Structure 1
């Protein structure tokens, strides 16, 4: 059975409390986990700490923390501390993000993202196991320290985000799970083959690698409003967030649409960029419209073999009331 989780809004919210309230609402409606993104707004660690204090059962985790702005040892310390605060409910998502954020916001060189991801996974596990850190990698050479506090009683699983074949293969080979975003059903099935290849290369049990797909979702009685919000959101990702989403969409059979969306956005014609997302493409990428239609589209993804969880994500322009309505409409038991 596919779990249903929340991927809390990437857009700025009124306050930390407003994000905490969404996690509390998710717990009330039976969602398995609340994932919190971190981009260039509030930091995820502080908000997750607040969520841990105000919830009791729902799983929590960042998706994603990038692998350039914090050292691997610091991320391991953070995971250890959050696991203590949350009484064992944490699961971590890490990944490279993209050059626009890493270079333009953090001022770091976006170099060797795949190798760096692998080394983060290996170093974080060593630290969280309470072992002395002696690591000689291509990116990091570390020695002589070990975690000063007790390691987590329950190890914190670490998932890796990725969109391309090699990054997904890496997740299968080294991570505890894969986080996917902006995928059609057919595109996801193709990347799941890369995940399976990584699992085989790592000589691992497929049951030990969990796949989570974040799906743009908006379920409103005003279905056209929901679809308009989703078009704006997806056009922004394809047009304004570097090349990763455009390239991923191209690999999934929408090369012409992806290039035209990006070109329209780059020329300043955001309205045209949104209009280029057809109804078919919108339904292929998300679960948006009236509650009935959104639930139908969400079930289409949940039926994909090899997918363990769908994460209900939200358009950037949705209001608090629209977020809450979508959480209620797409709750696991509805």
Structure 2
């Protein structure tokens, strides 16, 4: 099992130490570095900046939001970054949610599965550069001949020859249908809130996708990258208390109350009553109480917390469940030194 550094997206200001974290990740033997985007910083620009200082680590997006760019614009960014990095780019894509898609990008959130399939197909056409890129739509028709069209549009090939036609595309997916689609059309799954306890359920979803006609990969060459907190500590309670407010935010405050994909993930884990209570408290402005309502077990299902021996044993559990890469957040360079024995073992 390999390790990836999850840098995420920026807060109110650019992080001051991400460059040194990236350099430390490469020096410490991490396989990849990932950036994200929400409705502030974008995912591609930091990778290009940090990638110029590195020579080995792969550079991934976790994730680029589909509605932020047309498929061809995303393919242009991906092929450009892949050239600049010498073939180290991983294109991670995700649909986001209706609150962001309709509220920030001004686009409809309808039919996310169909849009994902169409989007990935167009990106792959660009990267293959075997023919002029076309698509019947309906989400991304190429050439566009709909309302307001001049009728002058024509199919095009990318001017720049992509470095790799098989540039890996990973999908961020949470629900059963989306995970099955990921196994069918993608090269890897970016799993958030993964728990080894439900590995059999995830494998059923994945196997459905692998079994579909024309599936791109098999389990043998498919990557599962799970984002998780890995915390080395002798004070488990303090670590749990530090995580609780973030869990409450994603469970109770992210997305719309009527449609929060993160909350649904925890419902599938069996925490429906806790999710309802956290959501009720968070949405009523009682954020501290919402954090306090997050059960220890809910956090421990999707994180690894303990001393070195305990963390090493848990990492084995995740690997045996099928995870090929752990995507972890690291706050300072000193943490790499604490993690090094686990990475090298």
Contact 1:214 1:312 in 2 (8 A): yes
1:106–1:220 CA distance, 2 compared to 1 (3 A): farther
SS of residue in 1 equivalent to 2:224? strand
2:170 to 150, 154, 159: 159
Q: Deviations over 1:187-206 (max 9, x none)?
A: 34312211111011144441
Partner of 1:80: 79
1:328–1:196 CA distance, 2 compared to 1 (3 A): farther
Q: How far 1:326 sits from its partner (Å)?
A: 3.8
Partner of 2:323: 307
Partner of 2:264: 247
- Which ranges of structure 1 fall in alignment gaps of 5 or more residues? 315-319
Q: How far 1:100 sits from its partner (Å)?
A: 1.9
Q: Deviations over 1:46-76 (max 9, x none)?
A: 1010111011111111110011110000000
Question: Over the residues paired in the alignment, what is the CA RMSD in angstroms?
Answer: 2.1
**Structure 1 segments of 4+ aligned residues over 6 angstroms from their partners:** none
- Larger Rg belongs to: 2
Cα distance in 2 for residues equivalent to 1:185 and 1:51: 32
1:329 to 311, 328, 338: 338
Contact 1:174 1:202 in 2 (8 A): no
Contact 1:183 1:249 in 2 (8 A): no
Partner of 1:182: 193
2:181 to 167, 170, 175: 170
Cα distance in 1 for residues equivalent to 2:262 and 2:125: 32
1:230–1:297 CA distance, 2 compared to 1 (3 A): farther
Partner of 2:46: 47
Number of equivalent positions = 325
Q: How far 1:133 sits from its partner (Å)?
A: 0.5
Partner of 1:36: 35
After TM superposition, the structure 1 stretch with the greater mean CA deviation from structure 2, 276-285 or 73-82, is 276-285
Q: How far 1:325 sits from its partner (Å)?
A: 4.1
Partner of 2:147: none
Contact 2:127 2:165 in 1 (8 A): no
Q: Deviations over 1:215-236 (max 9, x none)?
A: 1233356544432222222111
SS of residue in 2 equivalent to 1:92? strand
Cα distance in 2 for residues equivalent to 1:298 and 1:325: 20
Partner of 1:317: none
Give 1:184-333 correspondences, 5 Å limit.
184-204=195-215, 205-206=217-218, 207-220=220-233, 223-242=236-255, 243-290=260-307, 292-304=309-321, 306-313=322-329, 320-321=331-332, 324-331=333-340, 332-333=343-344
Partner of 2:151: none
Q: How far 1:284 sits from its partner (Å)?
A: 0.9
- Which ranges of structure 2 fall in alignment gaps of 5 or more residues? 144-154
Cα distance in 2 for residues equivalent to 1:329 and 1:234: 25
